[in-house]
């Protein structure tokens, strides 16, 4: 896989993005998302478009707008970007209390997430040179694995509390 360059669309799907690119993807894909955010939070659409576009330097992306986009979209792209920028952080969604998950399915999916990271890592190391897109893809798979582990642990904790308390 080395030396392969992703297109912007492939990078958004397969890699961890930088924060500006992640906010742009979350706000602009699917079409109309940013308009809904502007309507919800009372923002001027044209200004928001300029702020979320990473190629435009005339307006800066404010922390408040990042929060508003994250709140409206619940985008994992933004959370992955923040955690990878920190370098030693991960995130996960708390399981819904009404969700009666199948623990065996979750554990089987854990194996799949590990296999995804393993495969991505082996492909990246095949030529002994890690390219930026390869590293970003490894980060994305690692974040997915860490999220799944935390979800399993949270479900186990809730099961323990429900059955022992």
- Burial of 79 by CB count in 10 Å (0-12 exposed, 13-18 middle, 19+ buried)? buried
Predicted pLDDT at 99: 63
- Residue 100 is predicted with a pLDDT of 63
Nearest to 154 by CA among 92, 100, 63: 92
pLDDT of 4 reads 65
Q: pLDDT: is 96 or 22 the higher one?
A: 22
pLDDT value of position 106: 86
pLDDT, residue 98, reads 65
The answer on pLDDT for 3 being more than 70 is: no
Between 132-163 and 103-125, two packed helices, what is the crossing angle to 10 degrees?
A: 160
Tell me if 128 sits within 8 A of 69, measured CB to CB: no
| pTM, two decimal places | 0.76
Q: What pLDDT is attached to residue 145?
A: 94
Mean pLDDT (whole number) for 84-99: 81
Give the residue-averaged pLDDT of 14-30: 93
């Amino acid at each position: 896989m080395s030396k392969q360059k992703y297109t912007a669309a492939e990078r958004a799907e397969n890699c961890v993005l930088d924060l500006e690119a992640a906010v742009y993807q979350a706000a602009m894909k699917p079409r109309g998302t940013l308009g809904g955010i502007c309507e919800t939070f009372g923002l001027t659409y044209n200004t928001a478009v300029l702020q979320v576009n990473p190629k435009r330097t005339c307006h800066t992306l404010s922390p408040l707008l990042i929060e508003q986009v994250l709140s409206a979209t619940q985008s994992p792209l933004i959370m992955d970007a923040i955690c990878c920028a920190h370098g030693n952080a991960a995130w996960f969604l708390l399981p819904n209390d009404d969700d009666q998950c199948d623990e065996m399915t979750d554990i089987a999916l854990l194996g799949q997430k590990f296999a995804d990271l393993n495969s991505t890592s082996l492909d990246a190391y095949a030529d002994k040179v890690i390219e930026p897109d390869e590293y970003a893809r490894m980060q994305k798979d690692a974040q997915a694995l860490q999220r799944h582990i935390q979800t399993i642990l949270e479900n186990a904790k809730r099961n323990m509390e429900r059955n022992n308390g």
